[in-house]
Amino acid sequence: MNGKDYRQAIYNIDPIFLERWSPRAFSQQEVPEDILNGILEAACWAPSAANIQPWRFIIARNKGDRNHFHSFINEGNLTWCKNAPVLILIMSKTSTERGPSISHAFDAGTAWGFLSLEAAKKGLITHAMGGFNRDKAREKLGISDDYQLHAVVAVGYLGDMSELSADHQAREKPSNRRPLKETIFEGKFGESAKI
């Protein structure tokens, strides 16, 4: 299934933005190391405040590491993400040598965006999940308190939708976006932009 078959942009944008979406049907096909490293490197080229690069990634690509991740992922997500050959925990450092980092989450989100687009360009699918137990993840993976945990991302190749539950099969299509006129304001909050 291709996102561009279901989505239409009003303005001329690169097709990758329409093609990238978040399926749940993963093949168990392994992701080659050079391709995985390439999407992680793309993430690291994201811009960040003062070039601090607060994002950090913990990857699970063997059975033992994936089982650690499975122990803290919520059951609703685990039903489909257990087939993904790679799981990535995205987190960010909340402090710097100069004090608190006020943009760490913003910067980590940008890195995730870069990762997802590079994955799509390489024929992979990604699905970010907020549904996981952060305290348990912190304990299982030995993460210190000066990192905020944002998402677990499933990475792999598109699988067979028929392996999903009926509920997930019904949701297995690209989603659309809110119209720009409901998202963009001009001059001040609440003032509709002329778009």
Distances (CA, A) of 191 to 119, 178, 181: 37, 17, 10
Structure confidence at residue 97 as a pLDDT band (50, 70, 90): confident
* Greatest CA separation for the chain: 53
Q: How many Cβ atoms are within 10 Å of 61's Cβ, its own excluded?
A: 17
pLDDT in tens, 25-51: 999 999 999 999 999 999 999 999 999
Q: How confident is the model at residue 1 (pLDDT cuts 50, 70, 90)?
A: low
> In the chain, where are the structural domains located?
22-173
Q: pLDDT per residue over 9-18, tens digit each? A: 999 999 999 9
User: 104-147 pLDDT, tens per residue?
Assistant: 999 999 999 999 999 999 999 999 999 999 999 999 999 999 99
- DSSP character for 162? G
| Percent over 90 (pLDDT), the chain | 88
E strand or H helix at 79: helix 75-81
Amino acid 185: pLDDT: 93
CA–CA distance, 83 with 80 (Å, rounded to integer): 7
For residue 155, pLDDT over 70 is answered with yes
Over 70: is that where the pLDDT of 184 sits?
A: yes
**Per-residue confidence band for 3, with pLDDT thresholds at 50, 70 and 90:** low
Average pLDDT over residues 157-166: 94
Query: Do the beta carbons of residue 126 and residue 159 sit within 8 Å?
Result: no
Question: pLDDT digits over 64-83, tens only?
Answer: 999 999 999 999 999 999 99
Q: What is the DSSP string of 164-183?
A: S-HHHHHH-S------GGGT
Q: Indicate the residue type of 30.
A: E
Cβ proximity of 153 and 112 under 8 Å: yes
The pTM of the full predicted model, rounded to 2 decimals, is 0.94
Task: Give the homologous superfamily in CATH for domain 22-173.
Answer: NADH Oxidase (3.40.109.10)
